[in-house]
Chain A
Amino acid sequence: MARILYFASFRERMGRTEEALTLPPDVATVGELVAFLRERDGAGAQAFAHPATVRAAVNQEFAAPGSPVQDADEIAFFPPVTGG
């Protein structure tokens, strides 16, 4: 099971802070996971509607759409950061 975390506007749109998910067999990258979540339900469709505003981290390191994901990973989705 992968642990999926949502922050800021993604947390609000998904209606949860995290979930445990068994990655489908055809999901091997961050981009493929985004596509899966977007297709899964209305909340996902809304949260992931604009790919340019999706940022991700895998095991607490920033990740790109092509970054690999696997079960047991901690995968986070959030908008571009605005700290400082």
Chain B
Amino acid sequence: MPSVRVQAESFDPGAEMAALLAGRTDVGGVGCFVGVVRDSAGGQPIRSMTLEHYPGMTERALAAIAAEAEARWALQGCTVVHRYGRLLPGEPIVLVLTASPHRQAALDATAFLIDWLKTRAPFWKQEESADGGAHWVEARDSDDAAAARWEAGTA
């Protein structure tokens, strides 16, 4: 079963990886992606980023995406942690960990998970600019394209 959490507080990737590997010696590799708040957007500095989500649906959507990844790559385990609330530049937003006997499955499943949760998990980002103004981040066509390549089976 994938481990999926949606939380306001930060997370420790090392501690999450230790938990994923605890008590087992059959894992050959762990794929890892950590999304971090960048200090600029479109060339302009930002002061913070606030993530809104849909409680209930978010957990269901992440669990479905993680279960899909586990089945598709026969993973030995995977962890997805996604934060919400107001985050400052440098803070981690999202963690994806995948455990597999061999590296390719772990790396591919990690890319799949981050691509899919960008387009299928109900989160919305709002950036606060240096002057205090706030605006919603618009979805990018490149994210849709990245997610779609897993549908087409070309990745």
Contact = CB atoms under 8 A, between A and B. Distances in A.
Interface of A: 5, 7-9, 11, 57, 60-62, 76, 78-84
Interface stretch (B11-19, B71-79, B133-141): B133-141
Given A57-B57, A83-B51, A83-B117, A78 B94 contact: no
A66 to B, nearest CB: 19
Interface string B72-97: 00000000001000000000011000
B28 interface: no
A84 B84 CA distance: 11
B122 A84 contact: no
Given A7-B54, A8-B52, A60-B60, A84 B118 contact: yes
The secondary-structure label for the interface of chain B is: mixed
B121 interface: yes
Interface in B2-61: 35, 51-54, 56-57, 60
Contacts, number: 70
B35 A84 contact: yes
B139 A81 contact: yes
Interface residues of B, number: 27
A81 B60 contact: no
B57 A81 contact: no
A60 B123 CA distance: 13
Given A60-B54, A82-B118, A82-B137, 5 more contacts: A7-B52, A57-B122, A78-B54, A81-B139, A84-B93
A8 B60 contact: no
A60 B120 CA distance: 12
6 contacts: A11-B52, A57-B54, A82-B138, A82-B139, A83-B122, A84-B118
Contact of B118 (A8, A9, A62, A83): A83
A80 B137 CA distance: 10
Contacts of B51: 83
A4 to B, nearest CB: 13
Contact of B94 (A5, A60, A62, A83): A83
Closest 8 CB pairs of A and B: A83-B123, A80-B139, A84-B118, A8-B124, A60-B57, A82-B137, A82-B125, A83-B121
